Amino acid sequence: MPEADIVRPDLATDPPRRSAGAAPILLPVGGRPPLGVYIAQLIQRWPFALAQARAQTITANGRMLLGNLWLILQPLLDALMYYLIFQVILGVSRGIPNYVGYLLIGVFMFGYTGRAMNQSAGIVSSNKGLIRAFAFPRAALLIGLAARNLFSTIPTLIVLLVILILKPPQAYPTPLWLLFPAVIAIQTVFNLGLSFIVARITDAIPDLRKIIGFVTRLWLFVSCVMFGPERVLRLPYGEIILNINPAFQVLDISRKLLIYDTMPEPRSWIILAAWSVVLFLIGFVYFWRGEVNYGRA
């Protein structure tokens, strides 16, 4: 039987038993369980993954003077930098109503996906000791990372909404704001699917970790984080780039809901939801198929 198809007994729902006085049963750490067993084990570990993610989020900046305030200050500083460059120096805000809100939504929302992409690169190698020592579904590492990113993003989004309300021109809450959590949920599923793919690819080809940051920055510029979509539309195939770009759909939907009081087109919801579901399914299966190789190099 090929090694990739070995089922680890410790991942089954009923682990093997031994009679009294018999030699201990040694269970292999490597191997790939059937997909159904793999999912069942992830579900069993879900409460632990969430608890660990909450704890790591709280203690992530514990050694810094400002502590977890950096969860909020970092995206605000990024937004300030982009504002100075693109508004004050380059003046690209012409024709964009409520440019401050437009920019803040772009920076905060794209940052959520950007962090997921960058942090998942190399996560397997950075947890190699844990992977070699214990038998557990490696996808739990990515689920824990997704939970940490979500927990650290929620406070920044609350601050974002407060700024939108207080900073002129004010964007007061409307019934459309109630749809914003749905955008976050869909984006979270998309981020997790993307993380599965990036984690396996960068584990197989470590050199790609150096490229992920470049890809993220390029993606940022074609997602209209700092400027209007008309600049991308000038590019060859610009309309296609925007239509199939899930990050742009996240920003466009969020801006229409929060600052323009406009119901996004059904097509935008469909494109974003399709990206999220398909990428999650493909990413999860793709990561599972590489289970036997993680931690070996």
| Number of Cβ atoms within 10 Å of the Cβ of 250 | 26
Confidence (pLDDT) at 15: 44
Q: Give the DSSP letter of residue 114.
A: H
Q: Which amino acid is at 186?
A: I
- Is the pTM higher than 0.75? The answer reads yes
User: How is the chain split among helix, strand and coil, in percent rounded to 5?
Assistant: 70, 0, 30
Q: How buried is 175 (Cβ within 10 angstroms: 0-12 exposed, 13-18 middle, 19+ buried)?
A: exposed
Domain boundaries, the chain: 33-293
Per-residue confidence (pLDDT) for residue 11, from 0 to 100:
39
For the chain, 297 residues long, give each residue's pLDDT as a single digit of tens: 443 333 333 433 444 444 555 444 444 555 678 999 999 999 988 887 787 777 777 766 667 666 667 777 888 888 888 888 887 887 777 789 999 999 999 999 999 999 999 999 989 888 888 888 888 889 999 999 999 999 989 988 999 999 999 888 889 999 999 999 999 999 999 999 999 999 999 999 999 999 999 999 999 999 999 989 999 999 889 999 999 999 999 999 999 999 999 999 999 999 999 999 999 999 999 999 998 888 775
Type and span of the H or E element at 51: helix 35-59
Q: What pLDDT sits at residue 64?
A: 66
Q: Give alpha helix (H) positions in 167-221.
A: 180-204, 209-221
Q: Are 223 and 245 in contact (CB under 8 A)?
A: yes
